[in-house]
């Protein structure tokens, strides 16, 4: 008999990629499984999920606006409306289980699934659980986590250490260094840094790399600089034809596997999905946590690695003065590179999507 499972959440790529990975794993294990996504209207999942071949229904739900308290007046009404719609969706779809991956929509959907007595599974991506997931965790049958010590937030007997589902194609870098160097028009004999601020880019990283160009040129270092589509045109206009050929500026990276394969050192934000990919890639990493996330999640994610000598961290506020120097020091310290690589690889959990999918199917059987 075909199982019917709802996956809810989204808002960022960091939530959407794991959700789609879990859906794909469910389809691989039990091909007749019927899957429905529930997202938040106006958020990126409403485009990304159909592009991956799955149906999605949107809820009119939003997060708390910390800049304008006036805009929060409608939140209770949106919540009631979303709970009501979630109930309808669960009934109409005849769902047997619900999975929440974080993001606005997972709150009302999983709350209603719990009220209706359906088995629910939470996928907590960060090392510090968010408010919604902590509440949902009280009734969830299973909480799938990416870090140790999560019994601070959830009932210990229901926690499963799975890691975060990752894009397998992005981390498949074995034997691709030569192809990658050709793809980026780089010299295999020169040291190469990958700087990535995620699909939207990161202003701090962009400002630091822009200021560091003379230092990189002086040391003949190559930089793959993924600046984000939001910043690309402005940066391109600023540089015109004056960008040195060692510096490869691009809005986003279609082939993340090539970027990872080409790099000797990687500089990145510390989102949960990014860190999970970096652990599997196993290259030396400098993390610059974003200060613009709730509960300072990214700093906590980064520290989970730093405390195991698996990464170097530069705080966002110090990046302007310290980041370029930290990159150069690491590039010219092969011993430290080897140590960081060895330690970050120990934290890799590559099959989270399959482990979570099997767990959900087991819960339905029970």
Residues in the annotated binding site for UDP-N-acetyl-alpha-D-glucosamine? 12-14, 126, 167, 199, 298
Helix (H, G, I), strand (E, B) or coil at 61: coil
The residue to which tokens 């793809």 are assigned: 183
CA dist., res. 123 & res. 130, Å (int): 11
Give 91: exposed, middle or buried? Use CB within 10 Å, 0-12, 13-18, 19+. exposed
| Lateral strand order in the sheet of 222-226 | 247-250, 222-226, 192-196, 265-268, 285-287, 312-313
Asked if residue 145 lies in contact with residue 159, where contact means CB atoms within 8 angstroms, the answer is: yes
Asked if residue 93 lies in contact with residue 99, where contact means CB atoms within 8 angstroms, the answer is: no
Helix (H, G, I), strand (E, B) or coil at 212: helix
Q: Which residues are annotated as a binding site?
A: 12-14, 126, 167, 199, 298
Q: Which residues contact 351 (CB under 8 A, 6 or more apart)?
A: 163
**Integer CA distances (angstroms), 293 to 46, 108, 264, 275, in order:** 22, 21, 28, 15
Q: How many other CB atoms are found less than 10 A from the CB of residue 136?
A: 27
Pair of tokens at residue 114: 């719990």
Kindly state the DSSP code that residue 265 receives in the 8-state scheme: E
CA dist., res. 321 & res. 208, Å (int): 8
| Residue 5: half-sphere exposure toward Cβ, Cα within 13 Å | 33
| Lateral strand order in the sheet of 4-8 | 55-59, 34-40, 4-8, 97-100, 120-124, 142-145, 159-161
Q: Which residues contact 284 (CB under 8 A, 6 or more apart)?
A: 264, 265, 266, 312, 330, 336, 337, 340, 341, 344
Q: How many other CB atoms are found less than 10 A from the CB of residue 131?
A: 11
């Amino acid at each position: 008999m075909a199982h019917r499972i709802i996956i809810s959440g989204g808002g960022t790529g960091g939530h959407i990629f794991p959700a789609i990975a879990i859906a794909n794993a469910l389809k691989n294990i039990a091909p007749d499984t019927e899957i429905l996504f529930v997202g938040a209207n106006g958020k990126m999942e409403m485009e990304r999920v159909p592009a991956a071949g799955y149906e999605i229904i949107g809820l009119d739900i939003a997060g708390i606006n910390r800049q304008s308290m006036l805009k929060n007046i409608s939140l209770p009404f949106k919540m009631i409306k979303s709970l009501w719609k979630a109930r309808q969706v669960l009934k109409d779809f005849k769902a047997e289980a619900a999975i929440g991956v974080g993001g606005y929509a997972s709150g009302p959907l999983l709350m209603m699934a719990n009220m209706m007595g359906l088995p629910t599974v939470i996928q907590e991506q960060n090392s510090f659980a968010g408010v919604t997931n902590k509440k949902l965790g009280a009734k969830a049958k299973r909480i799938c986590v990416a870090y140790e010590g999560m019994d601070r937030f959830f009932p210990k007997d229901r926690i499963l250490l799975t890691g975060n589902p990752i894009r397998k194609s992005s981390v498949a870098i074995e034997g691709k260094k030569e192809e990658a160097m050709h793809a980026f028009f780089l010299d295999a004999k020169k040291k190469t840094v990958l700087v990535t601020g995620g699909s939207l880019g990161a202003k701090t990283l962009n400002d630091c790399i822009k200021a560091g160009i003379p230092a990189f040129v002086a040391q003949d270092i190559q930089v793959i600089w993924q600046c984000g589509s939001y910043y690309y045109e402005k940066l391109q206009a600023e540089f015109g034809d004056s960008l040195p050929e060692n510096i490869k500026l691009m809005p986003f990276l279609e082939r993340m596997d090539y970027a990872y394969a080409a790099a000797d050192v990687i500089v990145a934000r510390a989102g949960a999905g990014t860190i999970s990919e970096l652990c599997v890639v196993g290259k030396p990493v400098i993390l610059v946590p974003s200060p613009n996330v709730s509960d300072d999640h990214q700093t906590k994610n980064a520290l989970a690695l730093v405390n195991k000598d698996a990464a170097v961290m530069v705080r966002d506020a110090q990046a302007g003065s310290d980041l370029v120097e930290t990159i150069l020091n690491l590039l010219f310290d092969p011993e430290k590179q080897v140590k960081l690589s060895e330690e970050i690889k120990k934290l890799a959990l590559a099959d989270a999507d399959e482990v979570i999918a099997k767990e959900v199917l087991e819960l339905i059987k029970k």
